[in-house]
Amino acid sequence: MNLGAAATQLRAALVTPVPNFFVRSHAPVPVIAADAYRLHVDGLVDQPCTLTLEELQQGFPVHTVTATLQCAGLRRRELTALEPIDAAEIVWDTDAISTARWTGVRLSDILRRAGVQPAAAHVGFLGLDQVAKTQDGLGGSIPLAKALEDDVLLAYGMNDAPLLPIHGSPLRALVPGYIGARSVKWVGRITLQVAPSTNHFQARAYKLFPSSVRAETVNWDEGEMLGVLPINSFITSPQAGVLPTNETRRGAVFVQGIALAGGDAVIERVELSNDSGQSWTAATLTSSPQQWMWCFWEATCSLSPGSHELVVRAFDTAGHTQPMHLADVWNFKGYVNNAYHRVRISV
Ligand SMILES: Nc1nc2c(c(=O)[nH]1)N[C@H]1C(S)=C(S)[C@@H](COP(=O)(O)O)O[C@H]1N2
Ligand SMILES: [Mo]
């Protein structure tokens, strides 16, 4: 089941109501009774352990993080206009992104309990779903240093309610600042290991290849395993097309959108252009930029009658901004498109 709400709906609330939160699942939702659920922690640990949901909920401090979750496939549709993308991929617009208040236990607390051995460098997650093409659950890994950060969770709550089955109940990983695929849902096993996960979704899928590589020529051992998300921003309204007159009274067009900093950085500013990127003006941030969380922005631009290209770009505290053109980021799997977002409108 894959779902995404309209961009204007996502832009309506900083914390996305659960019914509007996007859903991306590579397999049917597994049916897992809470009292039968077990989390296994193994690999390079001093004390491999098995924990029930109750032990997780009662035995460790509760931690809540407001974080945006973004699929690596966000804005894939724009890339398809340049050249076709792998037909197996979902053609997301700006809808595969949402924000929630996540509640659970810190992954680091669980890892400390198990006792991480010095040779461990990666933390692997394995989901309890059954993906047909791999005959396995969806898995992936993050570097140990990331796993030990305070805000990386094993979450059982979302927006102050129990996590729903479609979002990974009884327990999911929540890795802020990383592509959504690393926030493994229905996580049943955590393995400390020397190297990254060999699961299909880490070793083959969710890899970034140069624009010269095609499905017919790809060597899956190459390519960069995606992890940290790049900075991004996009316009949620107006949508491309002819604006109704009531929206362009006296030639003023009201523009709204969303920006997300790269990785653990924070949005510094957002700029809007109404002349295809020749000149830029600062947009107003309507929410205070915060680590792990998208922020909202708006701007009013004066436009003469005719056709105009609106363009947005963001900057973050790490000094990152976005690539100018789709051709700069095109890759045959259509991952992590963060090029300047362009919307052509007629006034
Ligand atoms: N076990 C499992 N975890 C998973 C997935 C999945 O298919 N199976 N999809 C991943 C992907 S690609 C994304 S973008 C996020 C989506 O989380 P959501 O459905 O709660 O929005 O979950 C990730 N975790
Ligand atoms: Mo994803």
pLDDT digits (tens, 9 = 90+) for 156-167: 999 999 999 999
Q: What is residue 249's predicted lDDT score, i.e. its pLDDT?
A: 67
pLDDT (mean) for 313-342: 97
pLDDT digits (tens, 9 = 90+) for 161-219: 999 999 999 999 999 999 999 999 999 999 999 999 999 999 999 999 999 999 999 99
What number does the ligand 1 atom closest to the CA of 96 have?
A: 14
pTM value > 0.85: yes
**Residue 242 confidence (pLDDT):** 84
pLDDT of amino acid 347: 87
Band (243; pLDDT cuts 50, 70, 90):
confident
DSSP per position, 67-114: EEEE-TTTTHHHHHTTS---TTS----TTSEEEEEEEEEEHHHHHHHH
Atom of ligand 1 nearest to the CA of 137: 1
- Contact (CB, 8 A) for 34 and 260: no
Closest residue to atom 8 of ligand 1, CA basis: 138
Distance CA 316, CA 324 (A): 16
Q: What is the pLDDT of residues 68-87, one digit of tens each?
A: 999 999 999 999 999 999 88
What is the spatial distance between Cα 125 and Cα 204, in angstroms, rounded to a whole number? 16
Question: Whose alpha carbon is nearest atom 16 of ligand 1?
Answer: 24
